[in-house]
Structure 1
């Protein structure tokens, strides 16, 4: 059994991984200073825009959070419920609301990780063996994968550093 100090260190590492990316760019860096007119652009030979990726991250992360807190969780239909249709114009309000919701859901998930009564290694009674640790790693992995896609699209659109 891990000591409380070790658990706290693990939780802090998980939070840093999700929030800052460690060895890769964070979502916040990948989306910073993106020209508004490029949010909805779908580059040639790619299936989605940066907006669709941000929305997918928002939806998937919220789904993971909901699964992690509720035995009443209702599974979404893949892929229909996880991807938004393309649209060229994305308002500042839509953009900021999506990014703020991602941040807020991360804060809620971090609170779950920090709650001492939550066992990182215990399987959720309503799942198939998933644990809070597994869900944290899933968020980190999924977000980093799609964040890299955002960077690639920005490069294709000549909108990266």
Structure 2
């Protein structure tokens, strides 16, 4: 059983870090022109900045939920999506991308050290396994949207 758990943790880490069957967030953001962070081509309702910030907020919320019984989630959907299409500064962009990486690393550490199947005490049946899969799925979904936006903007080289 220990080997199966170890294999599961290894595969979860791969999935959370971008998977093996799709591009990861680092790939999707690599060489992105700063001028395209706030573009909304073809009337789309969101920009790359809004997607990145949404990934950050949602992943942070999932991580904090796993760790802290007193954590209060942001109000859905208003507080999960930034209103501004463009980051206020280069520092805001860098902070958001850095927090995504930091929080992902922390979630991956939890996956490697905690019981994946034990219900989270302050939840309603959620487990760390569920939260890790949800975080990976959520990030992959929005990473694909970033790549589509980059294709529409002409800056994705596949």
Query: TM-score when scaled to structure 2?
Result: 0.95
User: What does the per-residue CA deviation read over 1:44-97, in whole Å, with 9 as the maximum and x for residues that have no partner?
Assistant: 221000000000000000000000011112132100110001234553322221
**What's 2:116 paired with?**
120
Give 1:33 shift: 0.4
Q: Give the superposed CA RMSD.
A: 1.2
Give 5+ residue unaligned stretches, structure 1. none
Deviates more, 1:123-132 or 1:92-101: 92-101
Q: Report matched runs for 1:142-157 at 5 Å.
A: 142-157=138-153
**What's 2:93 paired with?**
95
**Pair 1:133-2:126 in alignment:** no
**Partner secondary structure for residue 144 of structure 2:** helix
Q: Could you tell me whether the CA contact under 8 Å between 1:48 and 1:86 is conserved in 2?
A: no
Query: TM-score when scaled to structure 1?
Result: 0.93
**Inter-partner Cα distance in structure 2 for 1:105 and 1:145:** 18
Where in structure 1 do 4 or more consecutive aligned residues deviate above 4 Å?
none
Give 5+ residue unaligned stretches, structure 2. none
Q: Could you tell me whether the CA contact under 8 Å between 1:121 and 1:133 is conserved in 2?
A: yes
**What's 1:44 paired with?**
42
Deviates more, 1:46-55 or 1:66-75: 66-75
**Inter-partner Cα distance in structure 1 for 2:20 and 2:76:** 29
Q: Report matched runs for 1:1-161 at 5 Å.
A: 3-88=1-86, 91-115=89-113, 118-161=114-157
